[in-house]
Amino acid sequence: MQRWPAAAEVLEQAGRWAALQRSGHQELLAVGVFGSYGRGTAGVGSDLDLLLILQRCDEPIWDRLRRWDTSALPLACDLLVYSLEEWRSLPRWNPRLAEALLNDTRWLGERPEPPGQLPAPLLA
């Protein structure tokens, strides 16, 4: 019988995955975990919600997910992939999501500026 991975184990593997992705994708600025793993409330049956911020992304939303292989992660994953411009403008077109991501995201590595902020040095 398989056991469900502990949250710390999932986050550790997600951190390694994020570092590997950053090394292979120069346009990847930040990776965050949101949802139950971001809030620290994950339990048996929780999926892993990942947020990727790219310097630039011209692909339609449904096509940009294809290049991110999450099969090495221990759980099923949902991905949100935004360009930096989309991230900055998120509060204007989806204020509820922007607030949730601002409150619930645990960044794996460097943290981008909060959504809706005026351009500043890219990574704090």
Beta bridge partners of 31: 52
C-alpha distances (whole Å) from 48 to each of 14, 27, 41, 59, 70 are 9, 22, 12, 23, 10
pLDDT attached to residue 40: 95
Residues 37, 10: contact at Cβ < 8 Å?
yes
Say how far apart CA 37 and CA 94 lie, in whole Å: 22
Q: Could you report the per-residue pLDDT of 56-70, keeping only the tens digit for each?
A: 998 998 899 999 999
Q: Does position 2 have pLDDT exceeding 90, yes or no?
A: no
Which domains are delineated in the chain? Answer: 7-107 (3.30.460.10)
Mean per-residue pLDDT for 92-114?
A: 90
Q: What does DSSP assign to residue 76?
A: -
pLDDT attached to residue 3: 85
Say how far apart CA 31 and CA 53 lie, in whole Å: 7
